[in-house]
Chain A
Amino acid sequence: MSSLLAQLLGPDPVITDGAWGTQLQALGLPAGLCPDGWNLTHPDLVRQVAQSYVDAGSKVILTNTFRSNRITLTAHGLADRVLEINRAGVEISRGAAGSRAKVFASIGPTGKMLMMGEVSEEEVFNAFVEQSSALAAADALVIETMSDLEEARIAVRAAKTVGLPVVASMVFDSGKNKDRTMMGATPEEVAEALTEAGADVIGANCGLGMEGYIPVAQRLRMATPLPIWIKPNAGLPELVDGHIVYRTTPAEFARQAEALRTAGVAFVGGCCGTSPEFIHALQKVLRP
């Protein structure tokens, strides 16, 4: 285990952070605009989100770089800013974290499907190597919200070239029992493949609420000796008058998180629909 992980991990789960996109929108990020671009144009507001999580008790915060691989930024017309946006993302989170939290830099999917031939493995690998290198000033890298195990494996291999610990986290939201990735992989298949690809932490995020991720966490835990990372949504989204609403309250979310502790999960945070209030509630329940 890397020294960073050894230092972080104890008997209780490490509290990570919650959603960023919705928080940025609350601060005025226009709909449809690439949030990552704000690292350059509105660093103070991005910093405000990072700070709100540190203040709420996050011991690990991510970065506003989820879409900052070359393939995705090209679609947003920001291809020439890849390095700057990633570097600024780490700097902003680092500034907010100070010595109170570690910075795990976020790497999301390319948004293209390998098996449809929309991108080649080499293009995906190169894009993730480029992004990972630009994030090298972080404490660790988090490959998150992956739906395709193949893309996740390529991302892990690419991220490992930097030498930082790598978290690899996938979305489980498909199949009868909502325990498969979109491409049909089970928690066991994911754990095995990503452990073999060299990940240091394996996890699940987005797609399901706390309830859905408790059994997934237990299965991941059984399938790999590596620490487990879980960031569920605030329940399942409902559409009310054209707005997405998440019904789970911070207190319910935190109460359900007890089961993640019991399952031996190492890192707990939130994804879509969560906010600093959720992190504060997790902190109170899991690290009183």
Chain B
Amino acid sequence: MEDLKKMYDAILTGNFKAAREITQQALDAGVDPQVLVQEQMIPAMGEVGRRYEANEYFVPELLISARAMKASLELIRPLLAARGAEPAGRVVIGTVKGDLHDIGKNLVAAMLEGAGFEVIDLGVDVTPEKFITALNERHAGLVAMSALLTTTMNSMKTTVDAIAAAGVRNKVKIMIGGAPVTQKYADEIGADGYSSNANAAVALARKLSAA
């Protein structure tokens, strides 16, 4: 296929219909899906992230680009899986016990999906036990926790402690985020990382998965 650059543009502008069509055409034409992902889609998402950090893009632009990525990856993933390729990582995500706010958590989940992670979303008000069960059953290497309230933030610590008590702490990396959360708090409770927004969360998840 002559013009894979169109794929880059489709992701950058968040055109999910175009992303899906171009992906299908490319696959029909025998383009290596890995090439499409590595040379067009990931760089496009990188540019989206750069524009977000530079305040040229805002949350809506992040979301539509992530959605376009997801639409394309849905076609590509089965092919990669058939070759034995694993997703970028498997993440269990949820808003912690006592907290019902899900906008931040949903943004991070959407961005992680767009970045090729397999996301297991446990929803809101998630108990430590639910996190542990999901980790064990789905063999996830990452846990992402969100809290909006200072009053519910402590559930993050409870969950980190429960994961340790369950004997699986060395099998997972834990990342946290939410309005009141800071790097200092992440250090205090023994989480592996903190990010202040959904775009930074993707870079953090990649870093933790590679570690």
Chain A residues engaging chain B, CB cutoff 8 angstroms:
25, 31-32, 75-76, 111-113, 115-116, 118, 174-176, 180, 182-184, 237, 239, 242-244
Contact = CB atoms under 8 A, between A and B. Distances in A.
A176 to B, nearest CB: 4
Given A116-B63, A174-B58, A237 B149 contact: no
Interface in B27-59: 55, 57-59
Given A116-B110, A239-B180, A239-B182, A31 B152 contact: yes
B58 A182 contact: yes
A113 B103 contact: yes
A175 B151 CA distance: 27
Nearest to A118: B106
A175 B55 contact: yes
Contacts of A118: 102, 106
22 contacts: A25-B151, A32-B99, A32-B149, A32-B151, A75-B100, A75-B124, A111-B101, A115-B64, A116-B106, A174-B58, A174-B59, A176-B55, A182-B59, A184-B59, A184-B60, A184-B61, A237-B180, A239-B150, A239-B185, A242-B153, A242-B154, A244-B180
B184 interface: yes
B60 A183 contact: yes
Interface string B89-117: 00000000011111100100010000000
Given A111-B100, A115-B63, A239-B182, A31 B106 contact: no
Given A184-B59, A239-B150, 8 more contacts: A31-B149, A32-B98, A111-B103, A112-B102, A113-B103, A174-B59, A184-B58, A184-B61
A118 B180 CA distance: 24
Contacts of A76: 100
Nearest to A31: B151
B153 to A, nearest CB: 7
A242 B180 CA distance: 9
B159 to A, nearest CB: 15
A180 to B, nearest CB: 7
A9 B101 CA distance: 37
A242 B182 CA distance: 10
Interface of B: 55, 57-61, 63-64, 98-103, 106, 110, 124, 149-154, 180, 182, 184-185
Main secondary structure, interface of B, reads loop
Given A175-B55, A182-B59, A243 B150 contact: yes
Contacts of B103: 111-113
A29 B114 CA distance: 40
Nearest to B185: A239
A16 to B, nearest CB: 24
B110 to A, nearest CB: 7
Given A31-B98, A239-B180, A239-B185, A244 B59 contact: no
Contacts of A25: 151
Contacts of B180: 237, 239, 244
Most buried by B among A31, A115, A176, A243: A31
Contacts of B101: 111
A243 B150 CA distance: 7
A111 B58 CA distance: 18
Contacts of B60: 115, 183-184
B16 to A, nearest CB: 12
A239 B154 CA distance: 13
B160 to A, nearest CB: 14
A38 B150 CA distance: 20
B168 to A, nearest CB: 25
A288 B180 CA distance: 37
Contacts of A239: 150, 180, 182, 184-185
A180 B57 CA distance: 11
A212 B60 CA distance: 23
Contacts of A175: 55, 58
A183 B63 CA distance: 10
Nearest to B109: A116
Given A111-B100, A115-B63, A237-B180, A180 B150 contact: no
Contact of B58 (A31, A32, A112, A183): A183
Nearest to A76: B100
B58 A113 contact: no
Contacts of B99: 32
